Amino acid sequence: MQGFLSHNIRSQDGDFIIKRKDNITAYQLAVVIDDYQQNITHIVRGFDLLESTPKQIYLQSLLGYPTPYYCHVPIITDQQGDKLSKQSFAQAVSNKKPEKTLFLLLELLKQNPPLLLKSASVDDILLWAIDHWNIERLKKISTMSH
């Protein structure tokens, strides 16, 4: 959650590409159409995609599509400040102990899970997370180091 964002497409972006030279629909338009066709109403993305959201909202308005609710959460970075991703060859998340991963993510996302949840099942951790999620704890935070 990053709060209100003011953006002037004309002065800050100007014309932007919606169809590439190779005749492929560019990301901004493709994601808008895809979200609409799937009836997406809520979108949670990383903070690194915040700058593309005004373009998508603009395209939605031109196409007469409803605008989903957007939430941009901090991205997790390594100790050098680089985003953990496939492109940066970050180590894959182990699927051997998903409950451990979920607990760690709740900690990284400042949700303050109780220590007793550390030994809980995936279902119990998810139920706790749904009941206790506090998006306000992420306001104005763009990255989190792991």
Sequence-distant (≥ 6) Cβ neighbours of residue 110 within 8 angstroms: 137, 138, 141, 144
Structural domains in the chain, CATH included, are: 1-73 (3.40.50.620), 81-137 (no CATH)
pLDDT surpassing 50 at residue 126? yes
Residue-wise pLDDT for 33-64, tens only, equals 999 999 999 999 888 888 889 999 999 999 99
Residue-wise pLDDT for 6-17, tens only, equals: 666 666 666 777
Q: Show Cβ contacts of residue 76 under 8 Å, excluding neighbours closer than 6 positions.
A: 83, 84, 108, 143, 144, 145, 146
What is the token pair recorded at 100? 């451990």
Which run of H or E residues covers position 9? helix 9-12
In this structure, which amino acid lies at residue 23? N
The proportion of the chain whose per-residue pLDDT surpasses 70, expressed as a percent, equals 89
